[in-house]
Amino acid sequence: MNTRNQEKTHSKIKQLEVAEKIRCLIVGSGPSGYTAAIYAARAHLSPVMYQGLQPGGQLTTTRDVENFPGYPEGITGEQLMKDLRKQAEHFGTDVRYGTVTDVDFSGDVHKILIDNERLIEAETVIISTGATAKYLGLESEDRFKAGGVSACATCDGFFYKGLDVAVVGGGDTAAEEALYLSSLCRKVYLIVRKDHLRASPVMQARVMKNNRIEVLFKRNTKKLLGDTVLREAVLIKNMGEEGEEEERISIDGFFLGIGHTPNSYPFSKYVKTNTGGYIITLGRSTRTNIPGVFACGDVQDFTYRQAITAAGTGCMAAMDAEKYLGEKE
């Protein structure tokens, strides 16, 4: 959003009348948001949740989840989110469709603009908007998201045990993904666009010493091929240079290791974030620098990024909000 649009949107907060006043607003869904809703509802905070652009969060695009406690046979990400939503609603959470387009956290009562047209005042706000994995932008990536393409090796690596996979990226994230997959997979190709790795020296050394990892320098991914599941990746070697040529590698899995973008806008105008855009929480709590505003899940976690850890911080955020309201009253 450009500066002019920001000014127009922010001016709407000043122009609109408050349509509703609530005690606890949860922005975003997913494991953290739904867990926060369950705890907030049971604490009689009458939570209202706006699910955002992707109801249920990133996990709804995950085929099988086998590492979330309580599901010995595994469960699809979509069904897990449906179960969590049902539980949140069972205890009284008001779950709505809508997106936060602007906020004003300058006063004691927090003002939130929904879909550029509805103004809400909230005593507490729990931000659980998650983070969006970065993709290459290939049309074939979307085609194989449920059949070979993943942005989380820890989540999906087990399904490729004994198979050949590829990881894209040259930084620490990609190196970590490749090393993790090497403990499960028969072969790991690390596809690096440049002629060197950007990862830390320690991570580089570990990658280069690992005989299951083959680093493919100066390669760009052109497209992914397969029938119902991924079978091949088409790469361009030395793109735009002398000796440019096309090559193919046979793979069963294609992992993105080029980072995530935290969905911290438009809160970052008031809430402090780090250089990567992740919301900074204080100490071991979910409190932000703004009293009454809390953050949980992947929007503030750039280390673990797991459904179970997101759910844990959702619990913390609801308890922190309950404590804040109790002390205020």
At 59, the pLDDT band (50, 70, 90 cuts) reads confident
113 and 154 together in one domain: no
Residue at which a domain ends, from 234, 256, 278: 256
Neighbouring residues of 304: CB distance < 8 A, sequence distance ≥ 6: none
Average pLDDT over residues 59-68: 75
Q: 150-173 as b/e, with b when 16 or more CB fall inside 10 Å? A: bbbbebbbebbeeebbbbbbbbbb
Residue 251: is its pLDDT beyond 60?
A: yes
One domain, residues 100 and 165: no
Question: Do residues 10 and 110 touch, judged by C-beta distance below 8 A?
Answer: no
Q: Is the pLDDT score of 9 beyond 80?
A: no
- Whether 54 and 71 share a structural domain: yes
Integer Cα distance of 177 and 184 in angstroms: 11
- Give the end-to-end CA distance of the chain in Å, rounded to a whole number: 38
What token pair was written down for 177? 């993904």
Q: Do 163 and 191 fall within a single domain?
A: yes
Q: Are 256 and 135 in contact (CB under 8 A)?
A: yes
Same-domain status, 32 and 8? yes
Given 230, 256, 282, which residue is the final one in a domain?
256
Residue 165 confidence (pLDDT): 98
- Of 278, 274, 275, 286, the C-alpha closest to 261 is 278
Domain boundary among 231, 256, 281: 256
282-305 pLDDT tens trace: 999 999 999 999 999 999 998 888
Count of Cβ atoms closer than 10 Å to residue 194 Cβ: 10
What CATH number does the domain containing 158 carry?
3.50.50.60
265 and 125 in a common domain: yes
For residues 242 and 324, membership in a common domain is answered with no
pLDDT of residue 260: 86
* Higher-pLDDT residue of 259, 28: 28
Per-residue pLDDT averaged across 178-192, rounded?
97
- Give the separation between CA 27 and CA 184, rounded to whole angstroms: 37
| Residues contacting 99, CB < 8 A, separation 6+ | 50, 52, 53, 114, 115
Same domain, 125 and 159: no
Confidence of residue 173 (pLDDT cuts 50, 70, 90): confident
pLDDT above 60 (res 7): no
Q: Give yes or no for residue 139 having a pLDDT over 50.
A: yes
pLDDT value, residue 5 = 46
* Tally of domains within the chain: 2
Q: Judge if 288 and 213 occupy the same domain.
A: no
| Nearest alpha-carbon partner for 230 in 215, 249, 216 | 249
* High-pLDDT (> 90) share of the chain, %: 76
63 and 148 belong to one structural domain: no
Q: Do 146 and 244 sit in the same domain of this protein?
A: yes
Mark whether 216 and 270 lie in a shared domain.
Answer: no
Q: Which domain holds residue 115?
A: 3-132+260-328
Asked if residue 226 has pLDDT above 70, the reply is yes
Q: Is the pLDDT of residue 4 over 80?
A: no
Residues identified as active-site: 152, 155-156
